[in-house]
Amino acid sequence: MAAIETMLATFEHVATNPHEQLKEHLDAGKRVIGVGPYYAPEELVHAAGAVPFGVWGCSGTANEARKYFPPFYCSLCQMTLEMGLTGKLAGLSGYMTTALCDTQRAASQNWRAGVGNAIPLIYVSQPQNRATEFGRAYAVESYRQVAHEIEECAHGIIDDEGLAASIKLYNEWRAAMRQFVKLAGTHPAEVGVQARLAVINAGYYMEKADHLALVNELNAALAALPESAEGFKRVVLSGIFEDIPAITGMLDELGYAVVADDLAKESRSFAMVVPEDEPPFEALADAWCALEGDSLLYDPEKAHVKKVVDLARESGAAGVILLLAKFCDPEEFDAPLVKAACREAGIPFLQIEIDQSTETYEQARTQLEAFGGLL
């Protein structure tokens, strides 16, 4: 247990001190490229010899970014641009982002206008038509173009051999993270909600190989312990992200355990498996095209809705909590469907609206307390 606590303390330190981590990378002479949401082909950055560094906004108030956005705009986009405009990301050699929603697309162009050449934007255009040959071809070509831009920023060359090695590492890392999510769900006494989040967030700032080694060590230690979920309120978290300290603090305080998640920043991003037996650019494209069950993806059958219900059933969750990111259109479109599906399946459902610029969540406390009673 002491070893687990020591490991968790390391993750916690990294997760809460990203700037220290960035400085370490820079001091070591590495080039660092910011990687934003969603499903960005991070392997390309790694293969170019640079360090991918997660940029998913931060808690705070957007002041400078408000000059570029209307008030009713996704806080994740606003706070990411705020970080870029206020020098919080100084040292990055580039910032890579995709554009799976209209909000993100406009935000990327605002980055170009506001941050400009100080941190060049690497725009990843992914096709939403994923089940077609032309969609796949588009993805392959798009990733090749992105690779050139990354090479410019990283001052490195991406060759097939290096990219294949990066894909292998990332597949191992994502598998380890999937295993960690399961183990954290069965061992909430050892890994609380905030600690679980710290392990995940540290992966956004550390070198992937270093994070993988530490996660593997943690997984082995947890697997050796008996399960500890008895007495916890077991829930699935759905949404884009959960990094609101007030919310995760309440979840811990009120005895919740996250037994599985459908969060874009967490399990959705670990879900991808890139084929290792085909040319690497085609493999990355195939992995993208194989994705499903996500509010951010073109999903005419709404597989995402069924996925949340299945996740709750398979993980033995007593309820689903949707942390609805304010002004997130894709999530807001799916929210009533997810709620109805949960209700039909007899799964208690709670929706809490969150954003990175809200400071107080006392109404959420009331709702979480009452929801715990329903479970």
Partner 1 sequence: MVYYNDMDYYLGIDVGSTASKCVVVDASGEIVARGLHPTGAGTVGPRACVDEALAQVPDLPSADDVASSCATGYGRHLEAWTTMQMSELSCHAKGAAHLFEGVRTVIDIGGQDAKVLSLDEGGRLVDFVMNDKCAAGTGRFLDVMAGVFGCAVANLSELDREATEIAAISSTCTVFAESEVISKLAAGTPIPNIVAGVHESVVERTHGLAKRAGVTPNVAMTGGVALNDSLRERLERRIGLPVATSPLAQFAGAYGAALHACGQGGNA
Strand order in the sheet with 233-239: 256-263, 233-239, 319-325, 349-354
- Report if residue 331 touches partner 1, rule: CB under 8 A: no
- Report if residue 367 touches partner 1, rule: CB under 8 A: yes
The binder of partner 1 chosen from 229, 348, 357, 375 (CB under 8 A) = 348
- Cα–Cα dist 249/242, whole Å: 11
- Report if residue 357 touches partner 1, rule: CB under 8 A: no
Nearer to partner 1, 89 or 324 (CB): 324
- We find the least distance from the C-beta atom of residue 350 to partner 1, in angstroms, to be 8
Sort residue 62 into left (φ over 0), alpha (ψ -120 to 50) or beta.
beta
Nearer to partner 1, 272 or 375 (CB): 375
Structural contact between residues 230 and 254, judged by C-beta atoms closer than 8 angstroms: no
Structural contact between residues 231 and 375, judged by C-beta atoms closer than 8 angstroms: no
Structural contact between residues 281 and 140, judged by C-beta atoms closer than 8 angstroms: yes
- Report if residue 333 touches partner 1, rule: CB under 8 A: no
Of 100, 12, 99, 246, nearest to 110 by C-alpha is 99
- We find the least distance from the C-beta atom of residue 369 to partner 1, in angstroms, to be 4
- Report if residue 374 touches partner 1, rule: CB under 8 A: yes
Site mask for partner 1 (CB under 8 A), range 288-327, x = bound: ----------------------------------------
- Report if residue 343 touches partner 1, rule: CB under 8 A: yes
- Report if residue 373 touches partner 1, rule: CB under 8 A: yes
By CB under 8 A, the residues from 70 to 89 that bind partner 1 are: none
By CB under 8 A, the residues from 159 to 178 that bind partner 1 are: none
- Report if residue 353 touches partner 1, rule: CB under 8 A: yes
The contacts found for 109-117 with CB under 8 angstroms, 24 or more apart, are 110/65, 110/68, 110/69, 110/81, 111/80, 111/81, 111/84, 113/68, 114/64, 114/65, 114/67, 114/68, 114/81, 114/84, 114/85, 115/81, 115/84, 115/85
- Report if residue 67 touches partner 1, rule: CB under 8 A: no
Binding footprint of partner 1 on the chain (CB under 8 A): 343, 348-349, 351, 353, 358, 362-363, 365-367, 369-370, 373-374
